[in-house]
Structure 1
């Protein structure tokens, strides 16, 4: 088992992933249960329309119509709760992948097996990716299954597209956390920096329509790749998927290089 770092990591994260999955399914169930009361209150959409543009821009899309299932989910789930949950998991998994082993003094035992450092990083990366995509899939399946029970009907293909973009958002910042963890071995730093950058990326994307300086760099924000082309309405944006995938590949390569060149504390 130790020789297969991927399986070991997934085994170690099994209970955590189960807890995350159950919690996310319950959160979606809560939103689905509230939907019937929201759709009967057209004043909710009017309230959002009357908000200052700066506040409306903080939602997944400023044109979201709360009286429709798509608009409701965009505002209530995909603007804040969904990204926050996936980012917390992915960043924590990435930061703990290498630094966590060192904090627990298990890295010497792991590297004492017939696995190279590059293999350790790659397997840890794939464990983080699988966990992140699993949680996104739980959210998507819950939206379709639980939503149908509450007349919150969403096209399954559009939900799948939105979850693909959501998972990639998490993996981008999870890969950054992994890279910092592999290069420094410091879990606190590896969590803190990606978290701060995620907030900044969110602000840049949200306020780009209002701030000229942000507009110029908006497409560099991972949050633009997440919601910039509205996948819940339009389906997957493959150019954004490609940008996210390339970003992840670069961060993974840097993580492997960083781990190979430094001294490792057991």
Structure 2
């Protein structure tokens, strides 16, 4: 198993992944169960309309309408809770890839195996990508299946377009955590800095439409690549997909370089 870092990592993560998947299924079920009590309440849309533009942009995707299944899911799941869950998993996995192995004193066994450092990083990144993809597919499938319980009809192709963008968002910040983890071996820094940058990027994306001096920065935010083109309504936005994928690839390459250069005293 040590000759395949990817398989070993996936095996080690299997129970945690199943736990994450179960949690996401429950979260989606909770939002689906609440939907019937929301859809016939015009006061909810009135509340949204009365919110200041800055708050509405921060906590709801553009054009969200609580009276429709698409609008409800955009506000309740895809604007906040969904990204938080995916980012927590991806960042935690990216940090655990190298710094976590050091903290558990298992890195020396990994380095003693007949695999080079670049391959370790690349296969750890691949395991993170597989795990993230698994979770967003589970979330998308749960939306489509559980939504039928309450008449929440969602377009399958648009749901999985939104899940693809969400998965790429997770990979960007997970790769950032991996790069810091590989370069420093410090789990606290490697976990805290991506979270701080994610919060900042979220604010820039949300407020860029209403704050003039943030507008030039908005399109550089990974959250803008995730939601700025409204994938649940418009489907995949290929330029945004390309930017997010390229960003993650650059960060993984930085992780390879950082790990090769670092003295791990092994």
Which interval holds the TM-score relative to the shorter structure? over 0.9
Partner of 1:99: 99
- CA apart distance, 1:60: 3.9
TM-score by length of 2: 0.98
What is the deviation of 1:59?
A: 2.6
Aligned ranges for residues 116-155 of structure 1 at < 5 Å? 116-155=116-155
Aligned-residue offset at 1:265:
4.4
Q: Point out where structure 1 has 5 or more consecutive residues left out of the alignment.
A: none
What corresponds to 2:258 in structure 1?
Answer: 258
Match of 1:189 in 2: 189
1:24-103 to 2 correspondences below 5 Å: 24-103=24-103
Q: CA deviation at 1:33?
A: 0.5
Report the aligned-residue RMSD. 0.8
CA distance in 1, matches of 2:60, 2:8: 37
Deviates more, 1:37-46 or 1:162-171: 37-46
Cα gap change, 1:71/1:178 in structure 2, threshold over 3 Å: closer, same or farther?
Answer: same
Provide the C-alpha distance between the structure 1 equivalents of 2:164 and 2:62, rounded to a whole number of angstroms. Answer: 21
What does the per-residue CA deviation read over 1:244-263, in whole Å, with 9 as the maximum and x for residues that have no partner? 01101110110000000111
Question: Partners in 2 of 1:55 and 1:260 — Cα distance?
Answer: 44
1:226-260 CA deviation, whole Å, 9 max, x = no partner? 00000000000000000001101110110000000
- Size of the alignment, in residue pairs? 266
Cα displacement (A) at 1:167? 0.2
Question: Secondary structure, in 3 states, of the residue corresponding to 2:61?
Answer: coil
Distance 1:33 1:75 in 2: 15
In structure 1, C-alpha distance between the alignment counterparts of 2:164 and 2:57, rounded to whole Å: 22
TM-score under structure 1 length normalisation? 0.98
* Contiguous gaps of at least 5 residues in structure 2: none
| Structure 1 stretches of at least 4 aligned residues deviating more than 2 Å after TM superposition | none
Structure 1 match to 2:243: 243
2:184 and 2:51 mapped to 1: Cα distance? 44
TM-superposed CA distance for 1:211, in Å, is: 1.2
